């Protein structure tokens, strides 16, 4: 590298759950001025449309047992591109630090002495829950929420504290759990969670392709097999999931109305 070459900067940007209007203003601004964008498979076309036409775009998406580029290679790519003086956006679905490996890339950037900044995004749990009318916490139903990933790398069997997760007073949100949904529901019931606990699975949340599947712990696997939701699927487990039938349906029918009578009808349902 020439001594006159100025080192660029890397932005680890949360792309949100899919709807481009759910990007932060800062994320939108940085995307619009990027020299290069390295993006995941969960990034919607509508978000990518914000990237300047002349910017370099590199897809590094991952699926189970099918990685376009190894994580170590992605980190090395970010370092290399920034070293050449470019403004690089590492664009991730949801939030970079929630099951996004953003911290792994941040550590490598620190080691390479590359300037970087993290721009948070709306994580899939918050986006999906809001889109279907499910509060992640609710007084008298859920006094906490837990995020877990439903798969392990290299097809290692799931090893979770199922007794801890089977808490009826906590909302459990499972990311990337579609492949292991049978084991997840069986383990939770075995650990003591009521088999009638409401569950909502959401596919491609906040986009025009969004699908939902409402079930219970016992019926979830069968319903998912029937309805064939497309990946990525997020699973919300807990009493709050039952509120999708009250808040979610009324939210859609009201069309966002702020009329007092309509709001009161929802509250008393």
Assess contact for 237 and 217: CB atoms under 8 A.
yes
Strand 198-203, strand 211-216: pairing: antiparallel
- DSSP helix/strand/coil, 201: strand
Assess contact for 57 and 68: CB atoms under 8 A.
no
Show the CA angle centred on residue 47, arms to residues 248 and 131, nearest 5°: 5
Tokens coding 139: 């007084």
- DSSP helix/strand/coil, 189: helix
Which of the following is catalytic: 9, 19, 35, 40? 40
Tokens coding 267: 């509250």
* DSSP conformational letter for 21: G
The question of whether 1 is a catalytic residue gets the answer no
Q: What is the DSSP string of 245-264?
A: GTHHHHHHHHTT---HHHHH
- DSSP helix/strand/coil, 144: strand
- DSSP helix/strand/coil, 46: helix
| Angle between the N-to-C axes of helices 181-190 and 220-227, in degrees from 0 to 180, rounded to the nearest 10 | 160
Q: How far is CA 52 from the centre of its chain?
A: 25
The question of whether 176 is a catalytic residue gets the answer yes
Q: Which residues are catalytic?
A: 40, 62, 176
């Amino acid at each position: 590298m020439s001594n006159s070459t100025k080192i660029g900067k890397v932005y680890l940007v949360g792309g949100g759950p899919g709807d481009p209007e759910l990007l932060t203003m800062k994320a939108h601004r940085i995307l619009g001025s990027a020299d290069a964008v390295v993006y995941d498979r969960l990034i919607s076309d509508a978000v990518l449309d914000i990237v300047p036409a002349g910017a370099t775009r590199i897809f590094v998406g991952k699926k189970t047992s099918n990685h376009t580029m190894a994580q170590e290679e992605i980190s090395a790519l970010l370092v290399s591109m920034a070293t050449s003086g470019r403004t690089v956006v590492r664009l991730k679905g949801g939030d970079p630090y929630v099951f996004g490996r953003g911290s792994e890339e941040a550590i490598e950037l620190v080691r390479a002495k590359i300037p970087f900044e993290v721009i948070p995004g709306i994580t899939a749990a918050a986006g999906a829950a809001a889109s279907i009318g499910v509060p992640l916490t609710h007084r008298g139903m859920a006094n906490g929420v837990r995020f877990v990933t439903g798969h392990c790398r290299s097809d290692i069997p799931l090893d979770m504290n199922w007794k801890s997760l089977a808490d009826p007073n906590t909302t459990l949100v499972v990311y990337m759990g579609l492949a292991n949904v049978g084991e997840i529901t069986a383990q939770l019931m075995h650990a003591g969670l009521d088999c009638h606990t409401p569950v909502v699975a959401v596919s491609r949340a906040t986009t025009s392709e969004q699908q939902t599947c409402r079930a219970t712990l016992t019926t979830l696997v069968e319903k998912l097999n029937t309805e064939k939701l497309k990946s990525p699927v997020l699973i919300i487990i807990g009493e709050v999931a039952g509120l999708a039938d009250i808040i979610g349906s009324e939210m859609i029918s009201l069309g966002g109305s702020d009329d007092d009578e309509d709001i009161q009808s929802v509250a008393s349902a």
